[in-house]
Structure 1
Amino acid sequence: MSATIEIGQTKRSSKDLIKAAVSGWLGTAMEYMDFQLYSLAAAIIFPKIFFPNFDPVVGMLVAFMTYGVGFLARPVGAWFFGRMGDRVGRKKVLVITIMLMGISTMLIGFLPGYAQIGIAAPLLLVALRIAQGFGAGAELSGASVMLAEYAPPKKRGLIASFVCLGTNSGTLLASGLWVLLTLLPEEALMSWGWRLPFIASIGITLYAMWMRRNLKESPVFEATRQQNDADTAAAAVAAAAPAGAVATAVSQPVKTQRKGKSFVLAIALRIGESGNSAMIQTFLIGYIVSALQMNKSVGTLALLIGSLIGFATVPLFGWLSDKFGRRSMYRALSGFQMLFAVPALLMIQSRDPLLVSLALIIGLSVSVLGMFSVQSAYVNELFGSRNRYSQLAMAKEIGGVLSGGLAPMIAAGLLALFTNSWWPIAAMMVLYSAIAFVATFFAPETRGRDLTLAEDAA
């Protein structure tokens, strides 16, 4: 006999919750596999395939620029699909976004290089990256909203963190594939090997689409729609009632609070996680290979190990946020990364494979995945029910552009400007962490908040 989740007049069984969790896991796994495949390819492969006429460091910078273009498309997708998700439901949007992302990723694997079609090759790469980013702009947010709105309040931190496990699975899968690919001879890797994971990703896409088409709508969205219908009926009664009779016969519609404070706080919290994620999972992988001249398998293997450890740290930090609160956990994690940035860069500068790997593993499995885990419930709880999807998606993507999307380009530029000095890279990581750390002193505690409330928490 399955348990029942009841929100408003809407009921969902524990089986529905499991379906929502698997659906969110697959979608975010797909998104972050795309993210990691592209970021690793931008660091290792794309400079030679699509930008062969540039100096190696400049080629890496240009490749990271195509990576950043995808982030610029994400806020547009967040605005478009987020508004759609608040109007027509979470489920329909999640089917569209996974399809758009999956097809774009697959087509990257079929692109000819610069040697075959010249300038058209990088232009097509940018076009597909934009399409990828447009769909991804609402994918993670939609999965996060859906799962948080399904979860029982007392276990929301733990259950919402499963979305982060999806991102971790995508990173793990992509990193594992790249570890295997780096074993190929250089010629095979550059000619056809790098294409395989992009093309194979369509399998996850098709299964995730099937799952989502058979998923029931979020109970919070259904409860909100019922309230909207009641408000509309009340307004119709009010319009038809005699003067003076309305006040006693009809309650006024609930107005959604829209102060904007929750939006700004969500951006700041996102910057701490996204900025460090891009530095660790994208820039530092290329830096280790290009600037430090280390074997390319060192970084990818470290990310693989960090992702495996994340399967323990993600639910742990989600559970801890249920026990001790979202704000205190986010403050502790962002504060830790702020203090760890300089030691991490010193470990990387040693060129010792063990120390380099340890720096990346701790940064990924504790700091980045820890913040992401807590954020999955925290940011959802900051917003009211009627605009949650659109506001959350925009906040996440604007924060992602300001940090994760620009971080590799800025870091590569600083590396060239300061002649391979490590301290500007550490300073960037400290700054990203500090922004999130300070935000926790202005954000409210939201643990256990009723997600059907129309007003924002801050």
Structure 2
Amino acid sequence: MIKHKQGYPHSSSALDRTDHKRNFWRATFSCWLGTAMEYADFALYGLAAGIIFGDVFFPEVTPALALLSSFAVWSVGFIARPIGALFFGWLGDRRGRKYVMVITIIIMGLSTTLIGMIPDYHTIGIWAPICLVVLRFTQGFGAGAELSGGTVMLGEYASPKHRGLVSSVIALGSNSGTLLASLVWLLVVQLDHQNLLSWGWRLPFLSSVLIAFAALWIRRSIRETPVFEQRMKQLRVATTRGETSEGSLGRPGKAFWIMVGLRIGENGPSYLAQGFMVGYVAKVLMMDKSVPTTAVLIASILGFLIIPLAGWLSDRYGRRKVYRLFCLLLMVYAWPAFTLLDSHEPWIVIATIVTGMGLASLGIFGVQAAWGVELFGVRHRYTNMAVAKELGAILSGGTAPLIAAALLSYYGNWWAIALYFTVMASIGFLTTFLAPETRGRDLNSVDDAI
């Protein structure tokens, strides 16, 4: 286990300590809001893709092909995320975490709001799905750095002893966004089909602008993290002496690929549980749309217990052990899950989706935040973590609903999807045996943990 003191600059007075505490809570609240915004956006799209977008943007194809088309557009957002992660991560390592997070919240807020303003297919034809693709791309471009930026900021503010718990606020933000999206959709799906098609589906996307404004207002007043400020001081001193050169990112190191593997084990199962399964229940099993929406709502409520518990467990027992356990449980979960969904019993279906989200979208994600920050050195932490996480996401979560829909269309059965689910969880499980235990690591260290 790599364990060192954090190396924070000590406050020289009670006033300094009060100021540091105030900035910590501002950063925490701002990161929570920003991540809530990001995941509200993606949860809104995931629910809309499974429930209504096939009728709005792809009305002239079969239900299975409409579902496939909706999730194909879903994947566009994930294609943009690594590009945004590389650009904004590079910017964040040079200009600061706060600077980037102000920009990303603006991009995400505008993109999501404009999705709610797109005319449907019957109004502008093929331009409707084209506009959806463009806005999904810009949404993903901003989101590619939002999650990692918040994770880095919280990790660099937190004390080493409680870094897992504090960093799990990022996962709480994602859970809050999912909860908000499911609450809004639960209300919206109560509308009759005609009103849902014409204007009801737009309300969740338009309302997301409120979160964006709140997050932007708070972020304007937060301060850079102590770790980043110390790094900048060191660079200024070294520059004065003529000793410094940041250099290029170079080739990805071991820590980068470890993060990719960990991300695949979490993100793929997560988006199958909260994305594809929702569409499978609503469009393939033809169950009432409120059933999968209720499942997402219940899981999101339980997440406020599961996520901090997972972060606390990782502080006490280590990142590797807890992450490995979640991956193992996901490998086991995959096979009975679809059998239980096929029962068509509402509460069995709800419990199945809740369990999958509890393991993949909540628990494992609560551990990943602190581990990701600790894997990388301060020099290129934002860039490397953001790109690794988004590359892992595009290889798993970004394409998982699309691949699952294609497998279902080709085989006409769920067994191939269960195998796909297990393979992704297995990648995360095996990666934990290659990853170092980083609990308590000094985040001022320049070198990666491995």
Q: Into which bin does the TM-score normalised by the smaller protein fall?
A: over 0.9
Is 1:59–2:66 an aligned residue pair? yes
- Whichever residue aligns with residue 427 of structure 2, its letter is I
Kept in 2, the 8 Å contact 1:73–1:133? The answer is yes
Is 1:262–2:263 an aligned residue pair? no
Is 1:7–2:8 an aligned residue pair? yes
Aligned to 1:445: 437
Is 1:224–2:225 an aligned residue pair? no
User: Aligned with 1:285: secondary structure?
Assistant: helix
Residue by residue, what CA displacement relative to the aligned partner does 1:238-294 show, whole Å, maximum 9, x if unpaired? xxxxxxxxxxxxxx9899997610000000101111101110111110011121111
Is 1:327–2:320 an aligned residue pair? yes
Aligned to 1:122: 129
- Whichever residue aligns with residue 181 of structure 1, its letter is V
Mapping of 1:184-333 within 5 angstroms? 184-235=191-242, 260-333=253-326
User: Aligned with 2:444: secondary structure?
Assistant: coil
Aligned to 2:3: none
**How many Å separate the matches in 2 of 1:366 and 1:45?**
27
Aligned to 1:94: 101
**How many Å separate the matches in 2 of 1:448 and 1:429?**
32
Q: What displacement does 1:117 show? A: 0.8
**How many Å separate the matches in 1 of 2:274 and 2:180?**
14
Kept in 2, the 8 Å contact 1:310–1:366? The answer is no
**How many Å separate the matches in 2 of 1:111 and 1:417?**
32
Q: What displacement does 1:43 show? A: 1.2
User: Aligned with 2:446: secondary structure?
Assistant: coil
Q: What displacement does 1:230 show? A: 2.0
**How many Å separate the matches in 1 of 2:328 and 2:216?**
38
**Deviation larger for 253-262 or 179-188:** 253-262
- More contact order relative to length (CA 8 Å, sep ≥ 6): 2
Is 1:173–2:180 an aligned residue pair? yes
Kept in 2, the 8 Å contact 1:257–1:455? The answer is no
User: Aligned with 2:406: secondary structure?
Assistant: helix
Kept in 2, the 8 Å contact 1:21–1:162? The answer is yes
Give the number of aligned pairs: 438
Where does structure 1 differ by over 3 angstroms across 4 or more consecutive aligned residues? 8-12, 252-259
- Whichever residue aligns with residue 229 of structure 1, its letter is R
Aligned to 1:431: 423
Q: What displacement does 1:9 show? A: 6.6
Mapping of 1:354-365 within 5 angstroms? 354-365=347-358
Q: How much is the aligned-residue C-alpha RMSD, in angstroms?
A: 1.7
Kept in 2, the 8 Å contact 1:273–1:372? The answer is yes
**How many Å separate the matches in 1 of 2:62 and 2:115?**
24
Q: Percent identity?
A: 50
Equivalent residue in structure 2 for 1:386, among 379, 389, 399: 379
Provide closer, same or farther for how the CA distance between residues 231 and 9 of structure 1 changes in structure 2, counting only shifts above 3 A: farther
Kept in 2, the 8 Å contact 1:156–1:322? The answer is yes
- Whichever residue aligns with residue 384 of structure 1, its letter is G
User: Aligned with 2:397: secondary structure?
Assistant: helix
Kept in 1, the 8 Å contact 2:255–2:376? The answer is yes
Q: Which structure 1 segments of 5+ residues have no match?
A: 237-251
Kept in 2, the 8 Å contact 1:103–1:202? The answer is yes
- Tell me which structure has the larger Cα radius of gyration: 1
Q: What displacement does 1:17 show? A: 1.2
Aligned to 2:363: 370
Kept in 2, the 8 Å contact 1:27–1:166? The answer is yes
Kept in 1, the 8 Å contact 2:267–2:360? The answer is no
- Whichever residue aligns with residue 47 of structure 2, its letter is L
User: Aligned with 2:241: secondary structure?
Assistant: helix
Provide closer, same or farther for how the CA distance between residues 259 and 402 of structure 1 changes in structure 2, counting only shifts above 3 A: closer
Kept in 2, the 8 Å contact 1:220–1:451? The answer is yes
**How many Å separate the matches in 2 of 1:199 and 1:253?**
45
Aligned to 2:50: 43
Kept in 1, the 8 Å contact 2:341–2:352? The answer is yes
- Whichever residue aligns with residue 27 of structure 1, its letter is G
Q: Which structure 2 segments of 5+ residues have no match?
A: 1-5
Kept in 2, the 8 Å contact 1:283–1:411? The answer is yes
**How many Å separate the matches in 2 of 1:213 and 1:185?**
42
Q: What displacement does 1:225 show? A: 0.9
Aligned to 1:412: 405
Kept in 2, the 8 Å contact 1:79–1:393? The answer is yes
